[in-house]
A = this chain, B = another copy of it.
Amino acid sequence: MRRSIVNDPEDLVPQALEGFVLSHPQQLALEAEHRYVTRRDPAQDKVGLVSGGGSGHEPLHAGFVGPGMLDVAVAGAVFASPTALQVLEATKAADAGRGVVQIVKNYTGDVLNFRIAGEISGDDAIETEIVLVDDDLATDTGDDGSGPGRRGTAATVIVEKVCGAAAEEGADLAAVAAVGRRVAASARTMSLALSAGTHPGDEEPQFTLEDDEVELGVGIHGERAARRVPFTDADGLTDLLLDPLLEELDLSDGDEVLAIVNGLGATYPLELNLVARRLHHRLADAGITIGRSLVGPYVTSLDMHGVSITLLALDDELRRLWDAPVRTPALTW
């Protein structure tokens, strides 16, 4: 069993948000009633950026609030969407008069509540644009449009960073949304887990695997994958993620990519660095350069032991927006 460092699980999210903001008093402020986090010094005269979703994926989203990235992050319960009312209030807080881009991971509840909030916010004369992030290649079921489509995972960090930089540069609402959609359209992610996370207060993980199994294509809420594949070493596990990404993305000799090697919770840095190493070697063999990268826990699933790889082909605009200054609790340069 896995025990949690928790008080009453019902109080977990508000208490954790309080602790997080207390730890960043010069950067962040908390609106406790609607459970959203804002920059302590709100930005003026720029397109606002709000994101949010269920908790349990920290540092996403509140860890990315600050100059160069989000204005506001709104938190639901663990793995549950914030309500439409929360999203509405968070959207109002993000508005500085030039409209608000809402960055939404593609899950039914999140999409529904952000859409409702977007419609209602029109009553307050706030223009909104939704950028839907749906990078998880494992849930790509083709183009028939009947299902919920690909899930949103670690590419959210790139969308938030790139949109944040564009907004900071003074781009208008349509332009900020457009560059976010461009990232969402081309970034893809593959994830695997060796063990699932455990909900705070629960004693058992969300699922269990046999000792020789790997969950290939796992979701960040512990969604099971279509495939369980044999366990193998770090290089082999990396290849399991990279091969379908290379098959999907149209990368060529000479291309430069942004890569995120993302720990899903309980994966330690030695492990992530082995994945990063193999990724560098494999891409170098194909003539592809990792021009920019993040390696660490950025979009987690409680204490899941697993890793995801996200790849995005870089061009001059995306490289410039990625490199632009950012100052948030989880990302600073």
Contact = CB atoms under 8 A, between A and B. Distances in A.
A274 B233 contact: no
The winner among A15, A269, A305 for most chain B CB atoms within 10 A is A269
Given A276-B19, A295-B23, A332-B332, A271 B305 contact: no
B23 A293 contact: yes
Interface residues of A, number: 59
Contacts of A270: 6, 12-13, 16, 55-56, 58, 78, 200, 302
A236 B26 CA distance: 28
A2 B195 contact: yes
Interface string A176-214: 000000000000000000110000100000000001000
State how many copies of this chain the complex holds: 2
A257 B125 CA distance: 46
Q: Is the interface of A mostly helix, strand, loop or mixed?
A: mixed
A228 to B, nearest CB: 14
Interface in A294-313: 295, 300, 302-303, 305, 307
Contacts of A211: 1, 3
A265 B268 contact: yes
Contacts of A266: 265-266, 303
A4 interface: yes
A207 to B, nearest CB: 15
A311 to B, nearest CB: 14
Contacts of A163: none
A2 B305 CA distance: 9
A271 B265 CA distance: 12
Interface string A5-23: 1111000110111111011
B12 A274 contact: yes
B274 A234 contact: no
B305 A22 contact: no
Given A17-B273, A19-B273, A268-B303, 4 more contacts: A3-B305, A5-B274, A7-B235, A19-B277
